[in-house]
Structure formats: C-alpha cells, structure tokens
Amino acid sequence: MRREAPQKLTDYGPLVFPAGMLITFFVVPFATMIAVSFFKRNPSGFYTPDFVFENYARFLSLFFGKVLGFSLFLAVTVAICCIVLAVPFTYLLSRAKRRTQVLWLVALLSILSLSEVIIGFAWSTLFSRTAGITNLLVMLGILDQPVALNPSFGAVLTAMTYQALPYTVLVLYPALVRLDPTLTEAARTLGASPIKSFFTVVVPALRNTIVATLIMVFIFALGSYLLPQILGRPQHWTLSVLITDQAIYQSNMPFAAAMAVFLVLVTLGLVALTVIAGRKGEAA
Amino acid sequence: MSGLTLQNVTKQFGTFTAVKNVELTVPHGTFVCLLGPSGCGKTTLMRMVAGLDLPTGGAIKLDGKDITNVPTHKRDLGMVFQSLALFPHLTVGENIAYSLRIRGVGKEEQKKRVDELLSMIHLSGYADRPVAKLSGGQRQRVAIARALAISPKLFLLDEPLSALDAKLREAMQVELRQLQQRLGITTIVVTHDQREAMTMADTVVVMSGGEIRQAAAPVEIYRRPADTFVADFIGMTNLIDFNADGSGASVLGASIPGLAVPAGLKSGIISIRPEDVHLTAPGNAPVTGTVTFVRDLGGTIETFVEAGGKQLVAVSMPNARPDVSVGQSVGVQLNPGDCVVLKS
Ligand SMILES: Nc1ncnc2c1ncn2[C@@H]1O[C@H](COP(=O)(O)OP(=O)(O)OP(=O)(O)O)[C@@H](O)[C@H]1O
Ligand SMILES: [Mg+2]
C-alpha cells in the first residue's frame, strides 16, 4: 500500500505521543548520561558540571580493557550458545504437533517470569557441592565425590544462556513457522538427509533472522550484571558489574556514565559491522 | 521386473483412509497421470512413492527392490512440488546443482551439468539469477531441471502446471511430454485437469475416494470407461438407464437391437459419448425427443435433447450441423457399438 507523504504540520499529529515518550524516557536520560560522563567528580560530594576527559582517560587502562574484552567475549559466547541450541530446537518445535508447541511455549514463557536473582541463586544451588547436580552423578557412579561447579566461567555461561534462551526461541519461532515445509521435503527428494537439509536449506534460508537474533541476544547478555557476580569469580565480572559498582557503591557517577557511553558505542560499532558483513554476504 | 510396482498400498490418517488398497504397475519409461477430483488421494499416493509419507499397509517396489521403508533421500528420485519449492537463498544454477552438490560431485562437473540442463529448458545464461527474479513459467522449468539433475530413476510431479495460465500450460504439457520421451524416464504426474492427462500420458489412472477406478491408455479410458464415475469424469457423456430381458435391451422405452449385455444382467447404465449421438428426422430412429437448447461454440455444436424424461446431449461438427431449432421433435440414433454397458 502506498501512502501519501505528510503535507501539513498537523499530519504529524499521531507522532506526538510516541515521540514524547521516546524523548522523555530515552533521549533525555541518555543525553544526561553523556553530559555527566564529562563532569568532574567531587570526592566529598557527588559531581560538579564541567567538561573534562579524565573519566574517559581513566578508562583507557589495561584493567578496564580486559574487562571490556571479557564482557564482549561473554556476550558473544552466550549469543552463539543460544543460537546453536535454539535454532534446531525451534525448528523441531515448529514441526511438532500443535499441543506440544503450546506446552513448550508456555514453559518458555514461564522462564521469562523468573527474575535474574532467582535464576542466579537457583543455578548456584544446582552447581553447589552440597546440593548440586554432581551429587546425582555420584549416585550414578560417574563421579567419585560431589564437587562445586561454581564460581566458574561455565556456571556464568550456563545461567546466562538459560536466561536468554526463551527470548531466542520466541524471536526465531515465527520465522521458522513461516518457513515453507516443502523446502526441506524438496531437499530430501534431491538426496539430502534430514540433517543435511537442515544445514543446507533451513539455516541459509533463515540467515537474516539468525543474524538479527544473534545481535539481540548479544546486547541482552551485555547488560547482565547479577549472574556474573553470583556465579563467577571477580575475573568473570563484566563491564556492567563495574558500572553498577562505580555508580552505586563508589558514588562515581561521571566514571560510571563514561563507561556506559563507551559500552554503547562499542556495541553499536559491533552491530554495524555485523550488519555490513551481512549485506556483503547477501550481495556475493 | 523393471519399473514401479504398488502392491495393496493403503494410507490412513487416524480413522480416515486417504488411499485404499492401490494396485498399480508402471513399466520402466512410461508416463503415468494420476487423475481425480480434489481430495481423492493423488498427492498422498505420490508422497508415499516419494517416501515423504509412509504407507500404513502394502508395499512399494522399484525395479524389483522393496523401497517401502527406504528414506526419501536414498530413493534417487526427482520431484516437482506444486509450490515448486525452489530454494530462495540460492541462484538458478545453485538450485539446479543442489542434488549434485549434496552427492559431492566436483565443481567443474556441476557447472557442466547445469549448463546442459539450462539449455535443455531454454534458459541458458540464467545460472546466476536469483530465483525470485524469474517468471512463473521460468521457475517451473528450473524446478523441472533441478529434479532431473541426477537423472533420477523416477520423476514425480504434483500438479506442476496448475499455477500457469492456460496458454503456457498447454505449451508446457507438450514440452514435458517431449522431454520425458527423449529421456525415457519413468514419470508420474498428478493432475486434476483431464485434458492435461490425455495430452501427456501413456497411462491415465483415474482415482476417486482413495481408490483406483481405472488405469488404462487415454483412448481406452475415453472409449471404454470402467464405471459410471470414470465415464462421467472423463469428458462429457450421456449416462442412460437400461433394462434387459433374455431377448434384448431397451433404453428410454425403445429397444436397441444388437446391444450386447452380459448374461444375467437385468438393468444397468450405458454410457454414450455426445459425438456418438446422432440426430435424425423423427420416426427414423427408435427414440424420439425434443430439442431444448442449442449451444453453438463455433468449433462444435452441442444440441440438448429431452427424451424419455432424460436430458441427452449430442455434439456435432460444423460441417454436419443438424438442422434443428428449440422445441423441434427429433429422432435420436444410438448405435449399439458406441454404447458402453456399465454396472450401476
Ligand atoms: N496429513 C494429513 N492428515 C490428515 N488427513 C490428510 C492429511 N493429508 C491428506 N489428508 C486427507 O487425505 C485426503 C487426500 O488428500 P490428498 O492431498 O492426497 O488429495 P489430492 O487428491 O491431492 O487433492 P487435490 O487435488 O486437492 O490436491 C484428503 O481428504 C485430505 O483431507
Ligand atoms: Mg494434491
């Protein structure tokens, strides 16, 4: 459908409300944060308006570089784990009976209702030595004695994947349901086993959806700051943890704001790179 | 024996039987059309041959080997789907080469075969186009080429031409038939267009309600239908009740001398094609009727006659145009040799 371009100022009327919401709740806070990131910290009080780069300068150290690197690495790993698990799962789900589909979707939605804190403590219990899953392995005779699985990188990764998986499935689900089932049938008649047809037809046909989902989970995981603290060692803390720490416990708002702005910029840069790479791949 | 054999093949969905005890032999290199009304189980039968659905009973054999439980990808077949199912993320050439790539054929050889197939379907030079940028007829050809890339043992097409306009469809029918004859490949086509079936097939299989009603050559199906369903479904026909006693048979109150009725059959139905119904002056034929409508189509003339409470239709060519008008009384000539006796 073709629509006429707005002619008069009043034609923009319907935009007033969303624009107002966006400005009040997104542009203003974000602008404030950018401004604060250039303010000068006042050790005795809070901060004083100024225009200094020292918050950013302090950030350019090996320590923060490592934290930033780890945060990005963790988010990418979580995103890849989610995609690797969710694409085959959602594909099978979309081909299952209606009842099975509803049951699984309800179960996944109920995970969404759990708060990050509950997820964190549930997994820390499951990974503990005294009450954790290793006790089951001992009972099955696989292990000699129960061990603690947290704090560790694996524990952080597992819990964050668990938390992000329902989002991944729910985003992929509509695209997979819409995928023409005769495509895989055609692949099978042409000599591809079901697994081969999944990798040569389903995955490539859904490339754009998969890349978009990857970016979504990546950004989602980048904001996680509770799970790394509950389940990880200090070297597993993400930039989000440090930002929270600076903002709330050290009362260093300008520095926290600078880190947040930097994180946003890096994220935007990575997303842009992914999109450009995707375009290139498309054209080739 | 070489070719495809279906033995007592049955498919049930829950309590519903979509295909019932189908027996069919398709000799190597023949062209078979499955023909029947919507929902009669044509697609289901073809999907079982392809291995996309498993029969609930019976056996499917290809060249003497039981393939009932062989998975689809090991059957070496080519199939064209009604929706075509071309891969949207691949170019024309990549679509056609898909089955070769899956089998690990070398790049050079793939390219050679793709070029060969493209020239066969008159689309040389289209290899690098995205499939989305093709017309309906071109896509059709690409789907056919893709299915033929490995020279399959069996070529299956489910309503391959239904999405095309009438003119293109007729041209493709002829092309498909010529292609099949050149390659000598065993081919099964599902259609519900009887003209299409008559144009292409060596054997037409008429189905209804999940069962095969008749499987025979097109002319045979037309001239010697096995039952009233087939007679009515294939072309136009007149179905008329008859009564028989020991001495002869009578139709519409008049006796037809020479009509051969199986011994012991007391009543039944005869089928007579409209072009075999001849109109004469009243009194010259045993049956008399009244003309109710004349439809002059230019190429043929259909005359509707009411006789003995039954509506009959006669078709004649323009050069034998009957000189009749509506309301006129005419004699209806039914030659016993043109009547097919059917069990009712
Ligand atoms: N997966 C299924 N589950 C239940 N019933 C089915 C299934 N597939 C087909 N049927 C039923 O089996 C019958 C035959 O279907 P089929 O698709 O073979 O018909 P068809 O002859 O190909 O018809 P059309 O000409 O409309 O394509 C139909 O009544 C249909 O409702
Ligand atoms: Mg069908």
Residue A192 forms contact with B (CB below 8 Å) = yes
- The answer for A 245-274 residues in CB contact with B (under 8 A) is none
Q: What is the pLDDT of residues B122-138, one digit of tens each?
A: 889 999 999 988 988 89
From B10, B44, B211, mutation site for ligand 1 pocket: most ligand atoms within 8 A of C-beta:
B44
The residue of A97, A179, A184, A190 whose CB has the most chain B CBs within 10 angstroms, and thus the best one to mutate to test that interface, is A190
Average pLDDT over residues A10-17: 83
**In the predicted model, what is the mean pLDDT of residues B237-261?**
80
Which architecture characterizes domain B236-342 according to CATH? Beta Barrel (2.40)
Compute the nearest-CA separation of B195 from chain A (Å): 27
Q: What is the pTM of this model?
A: 0.81
pLDDT tens digit sequence for B94-112? 999 999 999 999 999 999 9
How much distance in Å is there from the Cα of B163 to the middle of ligand 2? 13
Residue A284 pLDDT exceeds 60:
no
Average pLDDT over residues A72-99: 94
| Distance between CA atoms of residues B244 and B344, nearest Å | 13
Q: What is the pLDDT of residue A94?
A: 93
Q: With 60 as the cut, is the pLDDT of residue B194 above it?
A: yes
- pLDDT, chain A, mean: 87
Within 6 Å (CB) of ligand 1, which residues are found? B 13, 16, 18, 36, 38-44, 192
Domains in chain A: ranges and CATH = 41-283 (1.10.3720.10)
* pLDDT for the residue numbered A79: 95
Helix (H, G, I), strand (E, B) or coil at A188: helix
Could you read off the pLDDT of A210-261 as tens digits, one per residue?
A: 998 999 999 889 888 889 988 988 888 888 888 888 888 888 888 888 888 8
Residue whose CA is closest, atom 24 of ligand 1? B38
The pLDDT of residue B334 is above 90? no
Residues of chain B with CATH 2.40.50.140: 236-342
Tens digit of pLDDT for each residue in A26-46? 889 888 888 888 888 877 767
> Which of B76, B81, B102 has the CB atom closest to A192's CB atom?
B102
Q: CB of B205 within 8 A of CB of B33?
A: yes
If DSSP codes are grouped into helix, strand and coil, which group holds residue B259? coil
For an interface test with A, the pick among B46, B81, B86 (most A C-beta atoms closer than 10 Å) comes out as B81
- In sequence order, the 6+-apart residues with CB closer than 8 A to the CB of A54 are A40
DSSP output for A128-151: STTTSTHHHHHHTTS-SS-----S
Q: Which pLDDT value is given to residue A106?
A: 92
| B82, closest residue in chain A (CA to CA) | A182
Q: Where do the DSSP E strands lie in chain B?
A: 3-13, 16-27, 31-35, 57-62, 65-66, 77-80, 154-158, 186-191, 203-208, 211-216, 238-244, 249-251, 254-256, 267-272, 277-280, 287-296, 301-307, 310-316, 329-334, 340-342
Kindly indicate the confidence band of residue B250, based on its pLDDT and cuts at 50, 70 and 90. Answer: confident
- pLDDT for A282 equals 58
In chain B, which residues fall in CATH 3.40.50.300?
Answer: 3-230
Which CATH number applies to B3-230?
Answer: 3.40.50.300
The yes-or-no verdict on residue A283 having pLDDT over 60 is: no
- Greater confidence (A274 vs B40) lies with B40
Quick check: B83 and A196 CB within 8 A?
Answer: no
Read off the pLDDT of each residue in B12-21 and give the average, rounded to a whole number.
93
Peptide bond into A14 cis (omega under 30): no
B26-36 pLDDT, tens digit each: 999 999 999 99
Q: What is the mean pLDDT of residues B65-78?
A: 92
Q: Which residue is listed with tokens 């790049």?
A: B107
pLDDT in tens, A158-197: 999 999 999 999 999 999 999 999 999 999 999 999 999 9
B75-102 burial, b if ≥16 CB within 10 A, otherwise e? bbbbbbbeebbbbebbbbbbbbbbbbbb
Q: How far apart are CA B166 and CA B66, in angstroms?
A: 39
CA–CA gap between residue A106 and residue A111 (Å, rounded): 9
Q: How far is the CA of B24 from the centre of ligand 1 (A)?
A: 20
Of A144-148, A165-169, A199-203, B190-194, give the lowest mean pLDDT range. A144-148
**What's the pLDDT at B1?**
59
Higher-scoring residue by pLDDT: A11, B327 = B327
